[in-house]
Structure formats: structure tokens, C-alpha cells
Amino acid sequence: MSAGALPTGGASARGGTGATGPTVIRAQGVSKKFVSYHKRATSLKEMIVRRGGLSGEDFWALRDVNVEISRGQTVGLAGANGSGKSTLLKVLAGILRPTSGRVEVNGRIASLLELGAGFNGELSGRDNVYLNASLLGLTKRETDRLFDSIVDFAELRHKIDDEVKHYSSGQYVRLGFAVAVHVDPDILLVDEVLAVGDEAFQRKCLAKIDEFRSQGRTILFVTHSLDLIENMCDRVVVLESGRVIHDGAPAIGTKLLRQRLGSSPTEGSGAFSQATVRPETVTYSSTPGGPTEISYDPGDPLTITVGIEASAGCPPRVGVRCVAVGQHEIPIWVMETPAGGIPITPGFSFLDFTIDRLPALLGAFAVRVEVVDPTTGELITSRRFHDLFGISGSHAEGLVHVSYEARPRA
Ligand SMILES: Nc1ncnc2c1ncn2[C@@H]1O[C@H](COP(=O)(O)OP(=O)(O)OP(=O)(O)O)[C@@H](O)[C@H]1O
Ligand SMILES: [Mg+2]
């Protein structure tokens, strides 16, 4: 397989998380609206009435989703049924157009989306391999070369000339996955269809995903498995009702998922069963309320301002934790509101975290903001921002200054 040269667009050079390589996927303010009619028009009259003004109900499957994925990251996409995972993958794959917002992709994407996407049931498995591969950008000659390997990977040689509509769901997925991983993608998007395969095939797919990971390719896959999130992902994005409620460390994502899945919205912890308090913005300045600055020296003051949106029904008080994160999502320092939290009312408000003197720790840093219930410590929502600030200085010899002595042993 070739190295899969990435087009070097201006955007990709900017580096998304600041922690790893260039950004290969960037979704900015992506929202997706579906119009749902509760029942189909059953008469001509009804159709005319609808045309004449009665519209269906708007349904927002994605709301203001901001996600940046750097080259080489393995990202899990999680969330309850109907939270928008498949919709997000389809928008990123270019199959659905967002209602608003922008999506940028740098590199060849291969995707294994919902069952049947990219297949034609009337055609044989063989024809579908060619069809699917051509949709993913391969020429006929390239597909000829890969054909045997694809069929062997899918373990479907005995079925390859049957019409795909007679395949079982597992056989469908085998063929789709086999094609997706053979087209030399830079970016692999996988919906949870993998769960349809039998255990042996799932293992084979996971081994393939692992191989892709070690080759530095980018993977975004939907999973409900907390184990997989913890063991395979560098990062997890959790969706709830179309919004990102967590983007960052897998351990925090799984904690949040456990809490969310453990309690149903009706019997759950009331106000906290929905993310009614959300960190929306983060800005850096050297004085509270001052102009935005992103470049600092050790010893400088820094104010990190978090903009928080609270909706009706929000809890009266919340605890807010602001974590400065460095390379590989390592928490560098943590700041927290005092015990008992801070009062919050519906609307937008700002919270300043003021640091008198920045440490002599050089590098580029980002911020993760966690909102917690101040009495139980339960995590309400967590958001990883991609806006960076830098600490630069003259300590060219290393990242930190320590006091030490150099002394030959007597
Ligand atoms: N074409 C469509 N028209 C109307 N509503 C849609 C359409 N596609 C998805 N939806 C709705 O959008 C919401 C998000 O759907 P989506 O399939 O993205 O969820 P999901 O997180 O993938 O769920 P699951 O875990 O069940 O696969 C759901 O409420 C779904 O009913
Ligand atoms: Mg889905």
C-alpha cells in the first residue's frame, strides 16, 4: 500500500488539536435538520394542503457540532440511540449535506456506513465490489488487482457471484468492510455495523483497525463498547440529542456514558439528565476582559474565560473545572470553582480563571472544560476546545526548569 499522500491544503497545515499532526477532518458549526412528517400524505388533498403551507416538523439531528480530528488519531463516536452518530458520519463522508456549518476533509475517506449504503442489491457481490471501489475512487484496474484479496478478507468466495440481496446482514458487512479497508484510505469512518458480523469477523476487523492505527491512519468509528473506547481510542466524542457533550479523554467519556446509560432520563437525576449547562467558548487574555492574546511568556498572567450557556431547567449551581491540556491530552494543570460551585441562571455568562504567573512550561496548550454537579461531583458535560495558547520563552534546554546540582561522586 502506498503512503496515501494527503493533499496539503492550507487548512490542514494549521494543526487542529495542537497535540498531534495536521487536521484531516474539520466540522465547524455543523447542524443537520430533518423534516419529519408524522404520517405520509394519504390523499391528493393532503399533499396539496401540505404544499400550501403546512410543513412537517423540523428535527435537528445535529446541532452546532464542532469537531477537529488530527491525522493519526483513533476517535470513538458514542452516544445513545438516535443521538446523531450515523448522521454525523454521513455528513463527514459527504453523503449528507449539513443544513448549516462547514466540513473540510483532507485525504481519501473510506467509509462503512449503515447497512447497504454503497451497495446495489440486484447486482452480484463481484459487481458490487467494483461499484463500491469506484465510489471510493479506485479505477477498474486497481480493483482488479485487489479483488482476490478483498474476497479472501470477506471470506465470501463461494457467494461472490450471488446477488447481494440474498446476502445475510453479516455477509453484507463483511464485503463492505473488506472493500473499505482495501482502498488505501487515509481516513476510515466506520458505523457500528461491525457489530453485525460474527465474533471471528469482528476480531479480524478490530485487528485491521489496529493495523491502520499503527500505520498512522485516521479512524473514526461508532461504538457502544466502553472497553473499545478505553482500549483503542485516543479520544472519544460523545453525542447527546445531536450535540457534542464530551470531546476528549476516553476515560472521562466512558464515565459520562456510564452515568448517562445507567439512568434513564425520566428516573435519572432530574435536571442533570440533559446537558442544560454547556461550555460554549473559551478565550485567553492577559487581563480579565482584556483583548484576546494567545502568546505568553513564563511568569506572565493569564485569564482563561469560559463562556457558559445555560438553558431553562438548569441546576441553580454548578461546579466548573478547567483543565489545561498539553500533548497527548495530558492534563497540565487543573483549576476548579470553589466547593459548592457557582450560581447559574438561564442565558449566557462568563467565568474567568485567572492565573497570576504562568509556569515555565513551554509549549502549546488547549483547554477542556468540565461542568459537574457541585454536591455529588457527577459530570454533567465536558468539552475539549481546540483554541490554543502558547507559552514560549528562553529555556531552550528543555520543557521545564528544575533546580539541581551536578556533582561527581566522591
Ligand atoms: N432521513 C431522516 N429523516 C428524518 N429523521 C432522521 C433521518 N435520519 C435520521 N433521522 C433522525 O435523526 C436522529 C439521529 O439519527 P442517527 O441515525 O444519526 O442516530 P444514531 O446516533 O446513529 O443512532 P443509533 O445508535 O440508533 O444508530 C434520530 O432521531 C433519527 O430518527
Ligand atoms: Mg446509527
pLDDT in single tens digits along all 410 residues of the chain: 333 333 333 222 223 333 457 999 999 999 999 986 555 555 555 555 555 444 567 889 999 999 999 999 999 999 888 899 999 999 998 889 999 999 999 998 888 886 666 778 889 999 999 988 888 888 999 999 999 999 999 999 999 999 998 888 888 888 988 998 898 899 999 987 767 778 888 888 888 888 999 999 999 999 878 888 888 899 999 998 899 988 988 888 888 887 776 543 333 333 344 568 888 889 999 998 888 888 888 889 999 999 998 888 888 999 999 999 887 677 889 999 999 999 999 888 999 999 999 988 877 788 999 999 898 888 888 888 877 888 876 555 566 667 778 888 98
Q: Is 154 found in the same domain as 24?
A: yes
Å from CA of 321 to ligand 1 middle: 32
Backbone angles phi, psi at 177, to 5 degrees: -65, -40
H or E element, residue 116: none
* CB-based contacts of 25, cutoff 8 Å, min separation 6: 67, 68, 69, 92, 103, 104, 105, 106, 187, 218, 220
CATH classification at residue 203:
3.40.50.300
Do 96 and 233 belong together in one domain?
yes
**Minimum-distance ligand 1 atom for the alpha carbon of 242:** 14
Query: In the chain, how many domains are there?
Result: 2
Of residues 353, 338, 361, the one with CA closest to residue 304: 353
Give the residue, by CA position, lying nearest to ligand 1 atom 7. Answer: 34
Same domain, 203 and 295: no
The answer to whether position 322 is within a domain reads yes
The CATH number covering residue 344 comes to 2.60.40.2550
Same domain, 105 and 238: yes
For residue 355, being part of any structural domain is answered with yes
Out of 30, 31, 33, 34, mutate this one to test ligand 1's pocket (max ligand atoms within 8 Å of CB): namely: 34
> Given this model, what pLDDT does residue 404 score?
79
pLDDT at 318: 94
pLDDT at 297: 84
Q: Are 28 and 101 in contact (CB under 8 A)?
A: yes
Quote the domain boundaries for residue 364. Answer: 263-391
74 and 180 together in one domain: yes
Alpha-carbon gap, residue 293 to 300, rounded angstroms: 12
Quick one: which of 98, 73, 88 has its CA closest to 188? 73
Q: Do the strands 57-70 and 187-190 form a parallel or antiparallel pair, or are they unpaired?
A: unpaired
Question: Is the same domain home to 232 and 318?
Answer: no
123 domain residue, yes or no: yes
Q: What is the model's pLDDT at position 286?
A: 93
Looking at the fold, whether 276 and 369 belong to one and the same domain comes out as: yes
Distance (Å) of CA 199 to CA 78, 102, 252, 405: 21, 38, 28, 58
CA atoms within 13 A on the CB side of 126: 8
Predicted local distance difference test score (pLDDT) of residue 18: 38
Q: Is residue 50 part of a domain?
A: no
**Ligand showing the shortest atom-to-Cα distance for residue 114:** 2
**Phi/psi of residue 77, nearest 5 degrees:** -120, 120
